[in-house]
Structures are given as structure tokens and as C-alpha cells.
Chains A and B, each alone.
Chain A
Amino acid sequence: DADVTQTPRNRITKTGKRIMLECSQTKGHDRMYWYRQDPGLGLRLIYYSFDVKDINKGEISDGYSVSRQAQAKFSLSLESAIPNQTALYFCATSSGGFVTDTQYFGPGTRLTVL
């Protein structure tokens, strides 16, 4: 079984709809991240969380919100989806401490907003 899972894997929605992307991990990691990937732009950080009570905005958090329901679960919500949020979304996890540990990525969620 995969260590980091994302649901759904693909989603098509309409402008204005609320949508939630979910991420679960079995790696026992404290840190979780949400990134989005746009063609030719690499990945950019949306939100990150160090534990259930610690949630922080990343580079491009506008239009998104997150919830860390448990150590193993980190959800990303689009309250009112717009077409320019069409992208590939990745969840990632890493262990804690005061150094940068390797981030392990989920398989991605391909979101299309019409």
C-alpha cells in the first residue's frame, strides 16, 4: 500500500463549487504540505502543517483553505473554485526536527475547473 494517498485522483468541477482534496499518510510524519503544479512552472507551496495545531500559509494560499484533522490527514479545500485553479495538486509529508528531511509525495490529484 502507498504511504501517501490522495483522493480523488481526478476531479472535474464547475466554477463556484466547493471542493475538498484529501491526503492521508501512513509514514508517521509530522509535517504535511500541499503544492500545486502548473505546466512549465514547477511546484508551488500552498499550505503546510507541522502538527494538528500548526497550520501555515505558503506562497500561493489565496483561494484555498486547509484542515489537519489528525496527524495522518491533511485536507485542502477550494471554497469557490475558479478556472485558474485547474492544476495538478500534490500532498507531501516529511519527518520533523530542525532540519529539512526528504519530502515524500502522494500520487497527485488532477483538478479541472470548468
Chain B
Amino acid sequence: AQKVTQAQTEISVVEKEDVTLDCVYETRDTTYYLFWYKQPPSGELVFLIRRNSFDEQNEISGRYSWNFQKSTSSFNFTITASQVVDSAVYFCALSENSNSGYALNFGKGTSLLVTP
């Protein structure tokens, strides 16, 4: 079963619009970690944020912000005033401490296109 669901396959916005990328996860662990990675057209995976299950504080980093809500098992990512350089595929990932290897379970990704 898919443990991380990114329901939005593709999103297209015009530059300067705000956009939210949704991530819903499923776990029975009380200790787990959530991540967001960015994959620009060049293909590499860029780490954006790591959040543990005991820290529900929202986080803001420049134009990026993350909303973690355990009650709805969601870890959504918002880009404010989007720019063309934000065009990429964004992956949400879950790591459960009970999972051997502390490996990441990735969602299928959301492809974001920001047009001028």
C-alpha cells in the first residue's frame, strides 16, 4: 500500500502565484520523519526539509513554508510568490523508525510548472 500520497500529479501556475503541494502519509509508528525533496529538470534530488513526528510547528524558509498536521496525517508544502526556477518535481517522503534501514518511502511526486 502506498504510504505517501501526493494526489496532485501536475500543477501549473503563473509566476508570482502561491501554490500548495499536498502530501498525505500513512503510518502506525509514533516516531517517524517526513521529508520534502525537489528534483529540478537537471535531475538531481535536492533536500528541502526534514520534520519529526513530535514537532508539529510549521516552518518557513524564505518563500517556502510547510504545514504539518498529525490530525490529518498531512505535511503540505507552500511556495509563496512562485518563480520560474521553482519548476520541478517535488517529492514527499516518509521514514518510519520501525522500518529496517530507515529508508524513505516516497510519494509519486508532483510536477510543478511555473510559467512567466
Contact = CB atoms under 8 A, between A and B. Distances in A.
**Do the two chains belong together in a single complex?**
yes
Interface of A: 31, 33, 35, 40-45, 48, 50, 56, 58, 88, 90, 92, 94, 98-105, 107-108, 110
13 contacts: A33-B101, A33-B103, A35-B104, A40-B109, A43-B104, A45-B103, A48-B101, A90-B45, A99-B33, A99-B52, A99-B97, A105-B47, A108-B43
For the complex of A and B, the 10 pairs showing the least CB-CB separation, nearest first, are A42-B106, A105-B45, A100-B95, A48-B101, A100-B33, A100-B102, A43-B106, A42-B108, A45-B103, A102-B50
B106 A56 contact: no
Contacts of B72: none
Contacts of B100: 56
Contacts of A92: 104
B55 interface: no
A108 B45 CA distance: 9
A84 B45 CA distance: 23
B47 A102 contact: yes
A88 B109 CA distance: 15
B64 interface: no
Nearest to A50: B101
